[in-house]
Structure 1
């Protein structure tokens, strides 16, 4: 008989209960690398032992991908190894500039699909990328604060996860340097996510959503990018 998931754990998220780190690896799309024609992103999500526990696939149409670029709205489906959809990430079309503080980025996390369990909302700031991690009732749980300059320059880039008072660092989302050739010719990125082991499993899934939002906002362009300052 299958073992039922623990209380308050959406089906399929059992893998996250005893995990405090995740690795998100975007797969290289050969057609995109050769032609520059934007294709749907695909990812593998792994545990600290680098064992694949989930797959993630972008579900978007051709026109949206290629005309809206990294600002595009998207739906990302996270699936088990057997192909079951367990998490849906939805990002609406919003501005990505500090000139429009009333229309900042956000993402909704659903688990199971159709049931919101949390949100990540960008906070306006002229210099630093800042985000609020919220539960299903839109109550703030954690803060995410990035560096003043976000640039692929042969080093990892850390977005710190902090307590609500911003005094304690409890984790981080790190864009990992993938090597000069890969960074120059593709937008295939690797991310590491660290969070407290005892963090609510739903919030761990929301942290995964935050990782994808940060990827699209700052690292989706192909090639080495000029530095991005704050939320420009």
Structure 2
């Protein structure tokens, strides 16, 4: 009997059909998880917190969706981020909020973070109070806690309260990324531009590493909206954050969004976590419903 073959890794998951859809112009993922080079420092195997993840152990996730097996954790890699070391694509699926659809009531955002095989890597849960969510809506400050399959918090995102339609630097958006919680590893800061949404990806010393440039119109009926990840001189595109089209009904009546992230497989794992944080900031700034409308402010 032939052994079952693993699905080919060809790109993003189609949010409608659940199938893999090839993406052109970016390097594809490897089939399976490549073994690190012999000279790549690898931590003692006994220090790996999880060696074989079950199909479903964390409340709030989708039952039957397998978790990504934990690869070896390299030296100088924060605990939990080893899942990002060997992948170049991440898929983010936001949970549909029935209270928001039916009553226009803001509940906590929840997300599943997966690799391109559809295996779960993390769960992300917003930590805010009811008053903050419904008074400030998309502008709200928040703490976003990213958990592994055991419920351990491996990444924390902190967004302060700042207005978005303002030309003053003190009002530009910013997120601090911590891994483990309490230890900053990088920042996403908005750069003022008269027409385009632009951001800087910074390391723990607030030194610029990469840039993110969005389109003039942050909407695209029947198509994806791409935010390109570029080198500091903006001459080379090294990846992208794509807000994926999820269908007319879902786009019109729900703010549950799907995102796909592509970055170089050899990018510093801490910067991969910061790019992940940038995706959530972009979601809140441009695609979170506010008073029945998408939040489109934030460019100026």
- With the shorter chain as reference, the TM-score category is over 0.9
Residue in structure 2 matching 1:183, options 244, 251, 273: 251
Which residue does 1:118 correspond to in 2?
186
Conserved in 1, the CA contact under 8 Å of 2:285 and 2:297?
no
What's the CA shift for 1:155? 1.0
Name the TM-score, length of structure 2 as normaliser. 0.74
- Looking at structure 1, the residues matched to 298 and 106 of structure 2 have their Cα atoms a distance apart, in angstroms, of 26
Q: Deviations over 1:39-86 (max 9, x none)?
A: 000000000111111100000000000000100000000000111100
Which residue does 2:74 correspond to in 1?
6
What's the CA shift for 1:7? 1.1
Which residue does 2:28 correspond to in 1?
none
The CA RMSD measured in Å over matched residues stands at 1.5
Q: Could you tell me which runs of 5 or more consecutive residues in structure 2 were left unpaired when the two chains were aligned.
A: 1-44, 49-72
The total of aligned residue pairs comes to 231
Q: Does 1:22 align with 2:90?
A: yes
Is 29-38 or 206-215 further displaced after alignment? 29-38
Residue in structure 1 matching 2:225, options 135, 138, 157: 157
Q: Does 1:130 align with 2:130?
A: no
Q: Does 1:213 align with 2:265?
A: no
What's the CA shift for 1:230? 6.9
Which residue does 1:167 correspond to in 2?
235
Is 56-65 or 91-100 further displaced after alignment? 91-100
Which residue does 1:204 correspond to in 2?
272
Which residue does 1:79 correspond to in 2?
147
Q: Could you tell me which runs of 5 or more consecutive residues in structure 1 were left unpaired when the two chains were aligned.
A: none
Name the TM-score, length of structure 1 as normaliser. 0.95
Larger RCO: 1 or 2 (CA < 8 Å, sep 6+): 1
Conserved in 1, the CA contact under 8 Å of 2:286 and 2:297?
no
Structure 1 pair 152–37 and aligned structure 2 pair: CA distance change class (3 A): farther
Which residue does 1:68 correspond to in 2?
136
Structure 1 pair 61–100 and aligned structure 2 pair: CA distance change class (3 A): same
The DSSP-based 3-state class of the residue aligned with 1:150 is coil
- Looking at structure 2, the residues matched to 167 and 195 of structure 1 have their Cα atoms a distance apart, in angstroms, of 16
- Looking at structure 2, the residues matched to 138 and 101 of structure 1 have their Cα atoms a distance apart, in angstroms, of 16
Structure (1/2) with the larger strand percentage: 1
Conserved in 2, the CA contact under 8 Å of 1:38 and 1:65?
yes
- Looking at structure 2, the residues matched to 181 and 2 of structure 1 have their Cα atoms a distance apart, in angstroms, of 49
What's the CA shift for 1:153? 1.7
Which residue does 2:165 correspond to in 1?
97
Which residue does 1:38 correspond to in 2?
106
Q: Deviations over 1:169-200 (max 9, x none)?
A: 00000000111111111110000000000000
Q: Deviations over 1:186-219 (max 9, x none)?
A: 1100000000000000000000000000000000
- Looking at structure 2, the residues matched to 132 and 39 of structure 1 have their Cα atoms a distance apart, in angstroms, of 29
